[in-house]
Amino acid sequence: MRVGVIGAGVMGSNHARVLSGLPGVNLVGVVDPSPAHLTRTTELANCQGFETLDQLVAAGVDAVTIAAPTHLHHEVALACIAKNIHVLVEKPIASTVEEGREIVAAAQKAGVTLMVGHVERFNPAVAAVKQAIAGEDILSIAITRVGPFPPRMSNVGVVIDLAVHDIDLIRWFTESDIVEVQPQLSSAVAEREDIALLQFRTESGVLAHINTNWLTPFKARSVTVATRGKYVMGDLLTRQVTECFGFKPDGSYSMRHLPVGHDEPLRAELLAFLKAVRNGETPAVTGDEGVASLEIATQCLETPSRPAAKSPALKGPRRVAG
């Protein structure tokens, strides 16, 4: 299969690196207007570089991965779909929900595969958590995704850059839509929000919250899921997943570490995309799912926080206890 990569930044260079080593894949080349980015990535992946999308398309590709800045996703995806090229577009699918829906509609009309790059689903620790809670009555989910401010980020805040990963995971874990959103946002250092405490309720009744920021000096990525029968804790960086179960009336319980794979998430994601293209299957993360997660993230940015109700002032002197 002839594949191209659009965007030679951090993610694009990783896409090119992985694709260049996959069996049955011919990495045709990488597109980027930046000579420096292009040189670095073509040397890394040993492939050709193109300055424009038209040049890549002219060289002949069956599929592309789009790792360009988010504001370009809509234009680039539609241009590729119009040429009947299968598309994997990095998260978020587009800058707006409307643009995302247009991409989905175009792919459906053209009959091409469209997958959204929510790579965290392919983290072996996430997969282990998903397997551990299969068939369980989920009660609550808590996700922490924090770290230092990324110098590369400029046009979005933590909700679109980070929390959209976890919005997708909440929907995937629960297999239910999010129906209630309660965000608390703050801009402490950056122009856009760099702290977000987000609370959700799913249609199935699960309570979930996300804690994310760019103010923590180190990266932390963790997921905890409480069900009626167990409590599952996953560290997405160290890839350790622990399960507490067998709760007794005296407060005792059993604990065990669950087996976790060692696959590189991006490699697993790209293999899943190529498999969907080859077999004409529904991709692991559909365009509709990408739009749904973006829609919830957008609601988090647009929903005003509600002030707490104030208790009526107490009249008269307060009594001193004792």
Looking at the structure, tell me whether residues 66 and 172 fall in a common domain: no
CATH number, position 9:
3.40.50.720
Looking at the structure, tell me whether residues 224 and 125 fall in a common domain: yes
Looking at the structure, tell me whether residues 127 and 93 fall in a common domain: no
Tell the burial category of 166 from Cβ atoms under 10 Å away from its Cβ (0-12, 13-18, 19+). buried
3-state secondary structure of 140: strand
Domain presence at residue 318: no
Strands 86-90 and 63-66: parallel
Domain presence at residue 94: yes
Query: How far is Cα 156 from Cα 190, in angstroms, rounded to an integer?
Result: 10
Give residue 308's pLDDT: 62
- Which of 112, 129, 151 corresponds to the end of one domain? 112
Domain presence at residue 289: no
Looking at the structure, tell me whether residues 89 and 128 fall in a common domain: no
Looking at the structure, tell me whether residues 160 and 230 fall in a common domain: yes
CATH number, position 184:
3.30.360.10
Tell the burial category of 96 from Cβ atoms under 10 Å away from its Cβ (0-12, 13-18, 19+). middle
pLDDT average per 10 residues of sequence, the chain (322 residues)? 96 97 97 95 95 97 97 97 98 96 98 98 98 98 95 80 96 98 94 95 98 97 98 98 97 97 96 98 98 97 72 53 48
Q: 244-278: b or e for each residue (b if 16 or more CB lie within 10 Å)?
A: eeeeeeeeeeeeeebebeeeebbbbbbbbbbebbe
Looking at the structure, tell me whether residues 79 and 125 fall in a common domain: no
- Rounded to the nearest 5°, which phi and psi values hold at 122? -95, 5
Give residue 317's pLDDT: 52
Give residue 312's pLDDT: 60
* Sign of the torsion formed by the C-alpha atoms of 287, 288, 292 and 298: positive
Virtual torsion, Cα 246, 247, 248, 251, nearest 10 deg: 140
Looking at the structure, tell me whether residues 126 and 251 fall in a common domain: yes
Domain presence at residue 26: yes
Domain presence at residue 13: yes
The DSSP secondary structure of 206-264, one letter per residue, reads: -EEEEEEESEEEEEEEEEEEEESSEEEEEETTTTEEEEEE---TTS--EEEEPP-----
Give residue 322's pLDDT: 45
Looking at the structure, tell me whether residues 104 and 138 fall in a common domain: no
- Which of 93, 112, 131 corresponds to the end of one domain? 112
Tokens of 194: 């760099």
Domain presence at residue 243: yes
Q: Are 16 and 45 in contact (CB under 8 A)?
A: yes
Tokens of 262: 């060692």
Looking at the structure, tell me whether residues 58 and 78 fall in a common domain: yes
User: What size, in residues, is the chain?
Assistant: 322
Looking at the structure, tell me whether residues 66 and 163 fall in a common domain: no
Looking at the structure, tell me whether residues 75 and 197 fall in a common domain: no
Q: Which domain holds residue 78?
A: 2-112
Walk across the sheet containing 195-202 and list its strands.
178-186, 195-202, 207-213, 138-148, 215-227, 230-235, 240-245, 254-257
Q: Are 259 and 128 in contact (CB under 8 A)?
A: yes
Domain presence at residue 271: no
Q: Are 297 and 163 in contact (CB under 8 A)?
A: yes
- The total of structural domains in the chain comes to 2
Give residue 156's pLDDT: 85
Domain presence at residue 309: no
Looking at the structure, tell me whether residues 230 and 133 fall in a common domain: yes
Tokens of 280: 């004409």
Give residue 69's pLDDT: 93
